[in-house]
Amino acid sequence: MATAHHADHPTGLSRWLFTTNHKDIGTLYLVFAFTMAVIGGLMSLVIRAELWQPGLQLVDPHFFNQMTTVHALVMIFGFAMPGFVGLANWQIPMMIGAPDMALPRMNNWSFWILPFAATLLILGLFMPGGGPSAGWTLYPPLSAQGGIGTDFTLLSIHLLGMSSILGSINIIATILNMRAPGMTLMKMPMFVWTWLITAFLLIAAMPVLAGAVTMLITDRHFGTSFFDAAGGGDPVLWQHVFWFFGHPEVYILVLPAFGVFSQIIPTFARKQLFGYDSMVYATASIAFLSFIVWAHHMYTVGMPMAGELFFMYATMLIAVPTGVKVFNWISTMWRGSMTFETPMLWAIGGVFTFTIGGLSGLMLAITPVDFQYHDTYFVVAHFHYVIFGASVFGLFAAVYYWMPKWTGHMYNETLGKWHFWLTMLGFTLTFFPQHFLGLAGMPRRIPDYALQFTEFNQWSTVGAFMTIAAQFIFFYLAIKCMKGGERATDKVWEAADGLEWTLSSPPPYHSFTVAPKFK
Amino acid sequence: MAENQIDRKQRQRIHLTAGVLFLLVALMFVSAAFLRFSA
């Protein structure tokens, strides 16, 4: 009877609207994130179709700029961040042996802010004058001049930020207060550790963006001059404040993926994670360093030599803890009994692509070199290798790894592998040539380009369409897995380790109603 | 078997954690504007 009572929940729409259950909210986040990925993906196809050949053929330049701006905002704030919050919601309580998140009603609220924020963001495109076109960095004076579509975007960013802050407070409160008896901090799974650190990053970074956005709104509508030189303000202040948020944001997107890799690689190498303690310290070091490197995005703006040197060396220092992590993942695989199921493919692929993105980041960190590469396609290649290569690969790795646990069914392994390899090929075809385009001098955020850039751009466009097409396999596979298929065992993977694998597949609606024993 | 319910003490600790974090959020929010006023 107790089980029946625990499994009791409303059905239909009210289940999803009013739910305070971490699994339901996790599902809502993931569905929302992948819906936004489709919207952002279609925008990237508009960009790539226009860049198929030199000249203007499909869209006018103003709309092109709106596409690059909104594509980035949708992918960062609508896809990658909510995707990982969805994973956190599903997994953290199950991994630490808690019955739910610490603040379940706030959890419901932090999700339901998102659809409204996303609607505002997209609706901006349909306003008179169109959506924001200043790039996702929203630098004034351009962002101070946009039409009402820009206001929609700024309000939307406020809401998306609020949602992230509420989610982070919940995650920290859960991890610090609701671990199973015996699970000390240094015994937590790495995914939980990386999320704990990410949540602190969010709490320190998002309010700063909110402050900057508020100042921009008051500049636009209430006569202030924070960023208006004519009124005694300074547009460069925006860049400093924005990047004080913007650089930690990169790690907000990447650290949870590192946590995913650290869960998956030991499982499929059938070995314990190499250097657990150093992984924790490296993650914390990366998080700390992410707050003292922001001006490496602004070398070309102009700053004193001492400033340029400080930001250059501080940025290069990040390679040390990052190197520790990559070394540990490789050492975990070293002499392991490795198998290459789909989650492992995504994890290894993610480590590989992230390493390339990290190395191009090191190139960009060098001030005189950055003077050459700044605002070129080299930067576009670099951050897609980091954000797509680590975050999105990590997200897919996690979904494949835990989907059998969530649904109780195994996914189709053959289709999963096809999804990985086609995405890997499409991704490489899209973004690798962009390094060369950037080195040859093609600027970013332009709808037209010089003739000599045509060939690499065409490779890139073919790759983009291929990447998006490959995602249909994932959607088909995921829906099929939700509906049925071969039953998954409780442990799912032979060498899986952690409390979530002690639950049934799928887990009961209310799990760990009795505190688990943790050794 | 003991139900894995949140007791009063744990509830207080959760609220204390959330309260401190909300204060941190407010502090970071205001610090962005303070940069301008102190410049």
Asked if B17's CB is within 8 angstroms of A172's CB, the reply is yes
Write out chain B residues lying below 8 Å of A102, CB-based: 6, 14, 17-18
The answer to whether A280 touches A347, Cβ cutoff 8 Å, is no
Euclidean distance between the first and final Cα of chain A, in Å?
30
Q: Is A143 a catalytic residue?
A: no
Write out chain B residues lying below 8 Å of A240, CB-based: 35
pLDDT in tens, A39-68: 999 999 999 999 999 999 999 999 999 999
Residue with tokens 């509420």: A166
Rounded-to-integer distance, Cα A104 and Cα A134, Å: 37
Asked if A513's CB is within 8 angstroms of B28's CB, the reply is no
User: pLDDT above 90 covers what percent of chain A?
Assistant: 95
State mean pLDDT over A153-172: 97
Burial class (CB in 10 A: 0-12, 13-18, 19+), A445: middle
Return the number of CB contacts < 8 Å for A and B: 86
Q: Catalytic one among A270, A417, A444, A445? A: A444
Dihedral, A266, A319, A87, A430 alpha carbons, nearest 10: -100
In terms of Cα–Cα distance, which of A203, A247, A260 is closest to A88? A260
Q: Give the type of residue at A65.
A: N
pLDDT at A3 over 60: no
User: pLDDT above 70 covers what percent of chain A?
Assistant: 99
Instruction: Tell me, yes or no, if A166 comes closer than 8 A to chain B by beta carbon.
Output: no
Instruction: Identify any residues that bridge with A514 across adjacent strands, giving them in sequence order.
Output: B3
Asked if B21's CB is within 8 angstroms of A215's CB, the reply is no
Predicted pLDDT at A302: 87
Write out chain B residues lying below 8 Å of A203, CB-based: 21, 24-25, 28
State mean pLDDT over A385-409: 98
Interface test with B, best of A169, A174, A218, A237 (most B CBs within 10 A): A169
Rounded-to-integer distance, Cα A312 and Cα A319, Å: 12
pLDDT in tens, A431-442: 999 999 999 999
Instruction: Tell me, yes or no, if A402 comes closer than 8 A to chain B by beta carbon.
Output: no
How many CB atoms are closer than 10 A to CB A140? 26
Write out chain B residues lying below 8 Å of A168, CB-based: 21
pLDDT in tens, A202-221: 999 999 999 999 999 999 99
pLDDT in tens, A394-404: 999 999 999 99
Q: Is A413 a catalytic residue?
A: no
Q: Catalytic one among A100, A151, A308, A370? A: A100
Interface of B with A (CB under 8 A): 1-6, 10, 13-14, 17-18, 21-22, 24-33, 35-36, 39
pLDDT band at A518 (very low <50, low <70, confident <90, very high): confident
pLDDT in tens, A223-266: 999 999 999 999 999 999 999 999 999 999 999 999 999 999 99
pLDDT band at B36 (very low <50, low <70, confident <90, very high): low
Report the mean per-residue pLDDT for chain A: 96
Report the run of H or E that residue A424 belongs to, with start and end: helix A413-439
- Copy the structure tokens of residue A435: 């390094």
Predicted pLDDT at A4: 46
Instruction: Identify any residues that bridge with B3 across adjacent strands, giving them in sequence order.
Output: A514
Determine the residue of chain B that is closest to A215 in CA distance: B33
Determine the residue of chain A that is closest to B13 in CA distance: A177
Write out chain A residues lying below 8 Å of B4, CB-based: 97-99, 512-515
Asked if A215's CB is within 8 angstroms of B3's CB, the reply is no
Write out chain A residues lying below 8 Å of B17, CB-based: 102, 169, 172-173, 176-177
Write out chain B residues lying below 8 Å of A212, CB-based: 32
pLDDT at A2 over 80: no
CATH 1.20.210.10 is right for the domain spanning A24-228+237-502: yes
Determine the residue of chain A that is closest to B7 in CA distance: A178
How near does any CA of chain A get to the CA of B39, in Å?
10
Which of A165, A178, A234 shows the shortest C-beta gap to B25?
A165
Determine the residue of chain B that is closest to A245 in CA distance: B32
Instruction: Tell me, yes or no, if A218 comes closer than 8 A to chain B by beta carbon.
Output: no
Rounded-to-integer distance, Cα A287 and Cα A204, Å: 11
Q: Give the type of residue at A77.
A: F
